[in-house]
Amino acid sequence: MSTSHSIAFIGTGVMGRSMAGHLMRAGHTLHVFNRTKARAQALLDAGAHWHESAGRAAAEANFVFTIVGFPNDVEQTYFGPEGVIARARPGAVLIDMTTSSPLLARRIAEAAAVRGLAALDAPVSGGDVGAREARLVIMVGGDAAAFQRAKPLLELMGKSVVHQGPPGAGQHCKMANQIGIASSMMAWCEALAYARKAGLDLARVLESIGGGSAASASMNNLAPRALRGDFQPGFYVKHFRKDMRIALESAAEMKLDLPGLAAAKKLYDQVADCGWDECGTQALYRLYLAS
């Protein structure tokens, strides 16, 4: 029988609650915190233990997982007076699965090491469906020994768990992922806008191009939702805009020009200006419906 761990999970939103559920179902004891307690209720009903702060949850665990919204949320979760680094048990492994800044990931790793903790940055790709079905792609930066300790737990949530290198490397890999998605989102939206103007049946178009060279995970997962008028978030526009901003800032630090990413960010800023920041990323298609 595998070892049962005491695990803290901070952030039980669209993706986090499914990810935490996989850990519970594998027999691990779960300690949870979320800014909105109601979003953790299903986990609490299943036996998870509620705590009033991230730090209090972390104090009960030898592995601490976080998946929150924005880099400032990550900073507060880790560095606040009731934060993870101040309260975590010595020897604990801290695993931030938020898509955040590579620089912040390195700061967390350095501060954790001072307290005898190990920290990994482990952002994910796969959205709400990948989280529910434990098919996430998990990109990990940090100490190799800490990665090996955490890997069996990460494999409960993902189909691909790869150590990318030192602290911050997981976040850099996720930026590369988001850069690729940004262009693919524009691609299928423009393909369907063209087919619509040509008077084609869009479901039939997707049946053809979704199985050919133009296909992408974004097209096959999100275009059908958009055509049904389903703009509910599997991944929020507001979070994607945050990711693109981080990627553009990181690219600028490396003196790298990314015109495709810049174009996608401009379009998604228009999506936000239309009031669709709380929608899923497939809301980009709504811009094309107006043209």
Domain residue spans in the chain? 6-166, 173-289
Residues 283 and 271 sit within 8 Å (Cβ to Cβ): yes
Q: CA-based Rg of the chain, rounded to a whole angstrom?
A: 20
Q: Does residue 59 sit in helix, strand or coil?
A: coil
Q: CA-CA distances (angstroms) from residue 29 to 50, 80, 94?
A: 12, 25, 16
For the domain bounded by 6-166, which CATH number is listed? Answer: 3.40.50.720
Active site residue 174: yes
pLDDT range class, residue 159, cuts 50, 70, 90: very high
User: Up-side HSE of residue 55: CA atoms within 13 Å toward CB?
Assistant: 11
- What rounded mean pLDDT belongs to the chain? 96
CA 184, CA 212: separation in Å to the nearest integer? Answer: 14
Instruction: Answer yes or no: same fold for 6-166 and 173-289.
Output: no
Amino acid at site 146 = A
Q: Which of 88, 119, 101, 123 is nearest to 16 (CA)?
A: 123
Q: Which of 136, 143, 145 is nearest to 121 (CA)?
A: 143
Residues 101 and 72 sit within 8 Å (Cβ to Cβ): no
pLDDT, one tens digit per residue, over 102-153 is: 999 999 999 999 999 999 999 999 988 999 999 999 999 999 999 999 999 9
Q: CA-CA distances (angstroms) from residue 157 to 5, 88, 176?
A: 15, 23, 21
In the set 37, 151, 159, 174, the catalytic residue is: 174
Q: Which of 267, 91, 252 is nearest to 189 (CA)?
A: 267
Task: Give the pLDDT score at 127.
Answer: 86
pLDDT, one tens digit per residue, over 252-280 is: 999 999 999 999 999 999 999 999 999 99
Q: Which CATH class is domain 173-289?
A: mainly alpha
What is residue 167's DSSP assignment?
A: T
pLDDT range class, residue 5, cuts 50, 70, 90: very high
